[in-house]
Amino acid sequence: MELADRTAGWVLVEAAAGRIVLRDYLEACLERSAAREPEIKAWVCFDAAAARGAAEAASGRLAGVPLGVKDVFDTADFPTAYGSLLYAGHRPAVDAAAVALARAAGCVLPGKTVTTEFAYFHPGPTANPRNPAHTPGGSSSGSAAAVAAGMVPFALGTQTAGSLIRPAAFCGIVGYKPSFGAVPTYGVKQLGWSLDTVGVFARDVEDVALLAEVISDLALRPPADPGTPRLAVCRTAQWDAADDAAKATLERAAAAARRAAAEVRDVAMPPACAHLLADQHTVMAWEGARALAHERRTARDRLSLPLRDLTDAGAAMSPEAYLQARMRTPKARAAFDALAGEFDAVLTLPAPGEAPKGLAATGDPLFNRIWTLLGVPCLTLPAGTGPSGLPLGVQLVGSFGADARLLAAGAWLERVLTGGDVRE
């Protein structure tokens, strides 16, 4: 395995033992970026010299480890355009909180990764590293692609509908959306203030936890022996929208867990959760129209058509519709938590199938929206490939605040899925 493809956890252990030099790892990642960037286009701005300089001065738990940062996070030393020409050349005065916390732990930024426009649906130029004719997903397109291509071991992204879990599944990496509020969103361009969640991409669960700990201050790293989990399989009301390959991947992952001695039971979503999908649309549209009120007032005709449609619908919505959706959500979360609390994780789908062909769209977040509205932690794991040879994944969901338990279950299932071929 080439050095750029190693995880941060492996690199830090080897460097501490004197078997490798951390600077060599940074150089390997910079070289990989230079080699693959013309095809993948993961970076909206990139400065290898700045990364080298930062690495010389870095200290802390993750000293010298390169980090990708989605271009909706403010950064004091890089432009931050939020995926929009309206903000071309914009220079924030300070780092977003999550960026500042990652830097305090020693992470170095080679640049900023591509985002869709204001973290909604209008895509940037990023292609899927597994097959550049296909989308990497969005809105955290560049962060997912950079990790999958070995340009960085991990990256920051955000999720308002499905922008962490879906691109992780499409690119064949691990994606983690923490419980809502676990990571500060200060300095992140807002789209939906009750939905926006900062999360992490990496190539394994250990690296996800390694970065997530320093930006959340939670104890998240799974134990060496996480124990055999109790898993629920939930196909959700959206099941019929998945293709046969995605459905088969979920069933095989559940069967693999059973063979590995996990307790696995089928469950259905509680009746109180029936409105979640529609309510997530309502909340995102209402809040998006107001979060982007300045952009709509001053430059509406320069927004993409999908974003205009969303925010126009939100602006025309009655306050009662929004408040009803918000009032239903705590009841739905309580009902889901009562169900999920009996298990270590709920196993479900992260996406309808493989990454769609073409770069004009980022895929459907249908299998992510309800979990984002609930604010519960989610983790996606690679779980084989589909008929086109592109990655397929599975998603694990936990009860609110049970992030450490979720990641422990994820670490266990990761070993099961990588220890044997679940594609049969």
Residues noted as catalytic:
70, 139, 163
**CA–CA distance from 262 to each of 253, 259, 409 (Å)?**
11, 7, 10
Burial 98-134 (b: 16+ CB within 10 A, else e): bbbbbbbbbbbbbbbbbbbbbbbbbbbebbbbbbbeb
Strand, coil or helix: what is 113?
A: strand
CB 223 within 8 A of CB 404: no
Place of tokens 């449609």: 309
One DSSP character per residue, 2-48 reads -GGGS-HHHHHHHHHTTSS-HHHHHHHHHHHHHHHHHHH--EEEE-H
CA–CA distance, 256 with 92 (Å, rounded to integer): 48
Of 78, 137, 120, 138, residue with least CA distance to 103? 78
Strands, E, within 218-371: which ranges?
230-234, 263-267, 345-348
Of 382, 404, 400, residue with least CA distance to 391? 382
- The H or E element that residue 380 is part of is strand 378-385
Of 198, 161, 165, 166, residue with least CA distance to 179? 198
Query: What DSSP state is assigned to residue 93?
Result: S
